[in-house]
Structure 1
Amino acid sequence: MEKFILLLLGLMISFQGWSKKLEVYLDYASLPSLNMIFDLVEKKDDLEVEKVVGFERFNLGNDKLQYFPKDKLSFYPVSLQNIEPFSNKLFNTIKDSSDKVDLVIHTNLDHSLFSLLSIWKKLEPLKDKFEITKLYLYDDGSMNYKKLYENRNKDISTILQSSYQNLGEHLRTYNRDIQDLHSLSRYTWHKFFPTEYILLRPDYLSIDVKMKPLKDYLSDHVSTMNWERFNQLTQEEKNLFLKIVNFNEEIYNKLKNNNLNQKTFIFTGTTTWFEDQNERLKNAKLQTKILNKFLDKNGEFYLGDDIKVYFKGHPKGGDINEYILQETGAENIPANIPFEVLIMTDTLPDFVGGIMSSVYFSLPTKNISKVVFLSSEKIKNEQDARSEILSQLMLMLGIIKPEQIIFQNINE
């Protein structure tokens, strides 16, 4: 009898210690979302762990949710202006759980202060019902490194220490206002929760000697973003991934096959925020002129004969994109397909060139042809173009060489 009572007490204690795992995915950009989608696809047959997903760039409608276990994955569109439906679902899931919840959060490193403090504040009434057991914080590309570069000549060690203290106070008081938090605060999360920082270019912390204090501070909490993850999926998982990221199978196969049969080039376009039709036409003609420099035999950036040409315009390009496609005969790659998808699915053309944008920071060095800076109030010549923070970063990391940076006066 005594043994039975002891066994019963042991089971009761064990039951009280039980917890439920809940995984949360929240992002407003492309690169972190793509990494999170890999995770979702790889775990698509998981019947145990419930998942709450909030993306801005990708929509998981019923046509995609049907591939996941019923009632185990819920999706809500989000933006930096509104995560309420997403956070309400998270709140109710924890509130309705009969067990304490072990919360695993995947989110955007660049926006982690906003996202995590918003969640922390939302869940304040339930603080005894959950525990954050892991944070996965994903790089959002070049912007993160531009912020680091802007601080490279400052006392990073001192900033990190004060940032840690300030973030700790925000967590203690459930304060979600991030206005008084330094950008380096995003690198102090591991002091409060088990954290992994998944970085696009962790080597920057070693290459730029002024980043040594941050490298030492992060220690072994950093990992490198895996660009080979797509190739490690099963065919079924690959198909689901492509479906979720809206990468039409026809376009995927076309790029894949063309890359095998001939050299390929993709021109990256831009747009103008002017609504005046004359200004928009002027912008379209300028981009067409630059594109032709890659294609014409006498062009400044001529790539050679028998090149298959693609054009990937700006998502807001509209009539500008249409003009360029019509004038050049280039084949269209839908503007809403992120470049990162082309990299991850090994469908990136041999050469990429065009108007400078943050996407070039993510591209393999061997694929970059020329990056063109258009003149502006800030950029008046080639030296200004090379002095841009993004240029300086890419030069430091060996992504491009000085001669690949081109200046184009928009009035010529």
Structure 2
Amino acid sequence: MKRIFCLVSAILLSACNDNQNTVDVVVSTVNDNVIENNTYQVKPIDTPTTFDSYSWIQTCGTPILKDDEKYSLSFDFVAPELDQDEKFCFEFTGDVDGKRYVTQTNLTVVAPTLEVYVDHASLPSLQQLMKIIQQKNEYSQNERFISWGRIRLTEDNAEKLNAHIYPLAGNNTSQELVDAVIDYADSKNRLNLELNTNTGHSFRNIAPILRATSSKNNILISNINLYDDGSAEYVSLYNWKDTDNKSQKLSDSFLVLKDYLNGISSEKPNGIYSIYNWHQLYHSSYYFLRKDYLTVETKLHDLREYLGGSLKQMSWDTFSQLSKGDKELFLNIVGFDQEKLQQEYQQSELPNFVFTGTTTWAGGETKEYYAQQQVNVVNNAINETSPYYLGREHDLFFKGHPRGGIINDIILGSFNNMIDIPAKVSFEVLMMTGMLPDTVGGIASSLYFSIPAEKVSFIVFTSSDTITDREDALKSPLVQVMMTLGIVKEKDVLFWC
């Protein structure tokens, strides 16, 4: 709830019995929002406790001030149910000891807001969590429905965020969540609905909710916040950049999206066309991991213009702006011991190097092979005779894949002096909390999009159906995007088969 208090002193000149007397007038202003059906105590501020005389008058809005309230020192304003937001203004005047105190109270009756968060991925979920923590005090009365795959909220932490937890269906929105949104909306006269998800999965995550609520006249989609999933969006954009008439095709797909969400058609937009049209229907923000890609890549200037003011840069410095208590809450939720890592970073005067690992879903010998290949990469990085030597001695850290399992164990067991950063902690948490090491290198992943280029020593690509050697790796969309953005230089792209 937003509260704004202003205090102004004025001198009022009045004539009485042909004598000029001055009356001190102290004017204070209160501006606030009140949710429908909530009670707000209207009272004077910055005043003494007793007056010779006092009264209230209503100066704007549908008449609601009762006669007995006009001569009360304070009264309860019960926000009525309305068809739209409305401002109600009340002015208090109290006189005492030749001084006049005026309090102007301006209350805007607003609809309740329900914030919905759906995400299976680490990066967008972390951005959403940071947003909630940053705004939880200002918007303390907002209800929050959360479906996250990578962040687990305890009952205690969920209560602190005024959140209710719902499962994902696979990696996307469950029917249970859709039903909960409908039930909540049905319990309200009107409702502002805010949706938050990752851009790449936005159609699968929010279209079910929008389609189910399209016939609800009491729901206003107040905002849609979309956060990059990682590198996936950039690979898609790279593959799409040479498409002819991109803006026209996006506009055509907007009509398909609109008809689908309104239940007029069962035809769905696909790919890029399903994720970059939300702003044409609703107030939307696209938080890009690297917004500058749409500038650096000239063939995507038309998309930049199409998105217009809805195009935003993802923020990484919000943590530093939080209060001590909110920082502790964030660290507790994500399971990161910042103080412990800081002590480990400072154990010597050597710079810190973090190797980022990967995993495989195959078993047996394949896992052992993946582990040994990563051990070889680390050895090359720390061996002075290797062409990939870091250039000087470093304290060695390892950030394994959250599902690395035995692969992580083998890598850690291969180096006596390697310090483990818990695999469950997303690397992006280090970025958000200002805990990046001096140097990073490892297996290619989207996390390198969030690391300053000067900290990246090398990136290793592994063989796949489409990448069989280093030349293939260099030509791959991911590497092309990384080199275009200056994340990595060609000489720092390594490959193992």
- Residue 183 of structure 2: which of 74, 92, 102 is its match? 92
Q: 1:315 aligns with which of 375, 383, 402?
A: 402
Equivalence for 1:137: 226
Identity %: 33
Match of 2:260 in 1: 170
Deviation at 1:227, TM superposition (A): 0.9
In the superposition, relative to structure 1, how do residues 145 and 305 fare at CA in structure 2: closer, same or farther (>3 Å)?
A: closer
- The equivalent residue for 1:302 is 389
Q: CA deviation at 1:261?
A: 4.2
Instruction: In structure 2, give the amino acid aligned to 1:242.
Output: L
| Residue 107 of structure 2 is aligned to residue 51 of structure 1 | no
Task: Report the residue type matching 2:116 in the other structure.
Answer: V
Aligned twin of 1:36:
128
Amino acid at match of 1:281: E
Q: Cα gap change, 1:122/1:176 in structure 2, threshold over 3 Å: closer, same or farther?
A: farther
Match of 1:241 among 330, 335, 338: 330
| One-letter amino acid matched to 2:473 | A
Give the aligned partner of residue 351 of structure 1: 439
Q: 1:15 aligns with which of 79, 82, 86?
A: 82
Query: Which structure's residues are more often helix, by fraction?
Result: 1
Equivalent in the alignment of 1:392 = 480
| Conserved? CA contact 2:118–2:148, under 8 Å | yes
CA distance in 2, matches of 1:121, 1:209: 35
Alignment partner of 1:207 out of 292, 296, 308: 296
How many angstroms apart in 1 are the aligned matches of 2:323 and 2:240? 42
Match of 2:119 among 16, 27, 50: 27
Give the distance between the partners of 2:379 and 2:141, measured in 1 at CA. 55
TM-score by length of 2: 0.74
Question: 1:7 is paired with a residue of what secondary structure?
Answer: coil
In structure 2, the CA distance between the partners of 1:20 and 1:152, relative to structure 1 (3 Å rule), is same
Distance (Å, rounded) in 2 between the aligned partners of 1:262 and 1:67: 40
SS at match of 1:328: coil
How many angstroms does 1:51 deviate by? Answer: 1.6
How far 1:150 moved relative to its partner? Answer: 0.7
Q: What does residue 186 of structure 1 align with?
A: 275
Counterpart CA distance in 2 for 1:334 and 1:145 is: 28
1:316-331 equivalent positions in 2, closer than 5 A: 316-329=403-416, 330-331=418-419
Among 258, 275, 284, which residue is 2:371 paired with? 284
What does the per-residue CA deviation read over 1:244-270, in whole Å, with 9 as the maximum and x for residues that have no partner?
Answer: 112134544335645x94311111112
Contact between 1:294 and 1:301, CA under 8 Å: does it hold in 2?
yes
Point out where structure 2 has 5 or more consecutive residues left out of the alignment.
1-61, 66-77, 86-110
- Is the 8 Å Cα contact of residues 147 and 173 (structure 2) preserved in structure 1? no
- Distance of aligned partners of 1:73 and 1:371 in 2 relative to their CA distance in 1, 3 Å threshold: same
Give the drift of 1:345. 0.8
CA distance change for structure 1 residues 134 and 252 in 2, over 3 Å: closer, same or farther?
same
Matched, 1:119 2:247: no
Q: Which residue of 2 aligns with 1:266?
A: 354
TM-score, normalised with respect to structure 1:
0.89
Q: Which amino acid aligns with 2:491?
A: E
What SS does the corresponding residue of 1:244 show, helix, strand or coil?
Answer: helix
Give the root-mean-square deviation of aligned CA atoms. 2.5
Shift of 1:372: 1.3
Q: Secondary structure at the match of 2:194?
A: strand
Inter-CA distance 376–80: structure 2 relative to 1 (3 Å threshold): closer
**Cα distance, 1:280 vs. partner?**
2.4
In structure 2, the CA distance between the partners of 1:314 and 1:174, relative to structure 1 (3 Å rule), is farther
Which structure would you say has the larger RCO, counting Cα contacts within 8 Å and 6 or more residues apart? Answer: 1
For the residue of structure 1 that corresponds to 2:250, the secondary structure is helix
Q: 1:336 is matched with which residue: 416, 421, 424?
A: 424
Q: Return the letter of the residue paired with 1:75.
A: I
Unaligned runs of 5+ in 1: 1-5
Which whole-Å CA distance do the structure 2 matches of 1:39 and 1:81 have between them? 21
Counterpart Cα distance in 2 of 1:166 and 1:26: 23
Whole-angstrom CA distance in 2 between matches of 1:304 and 1:176: 58
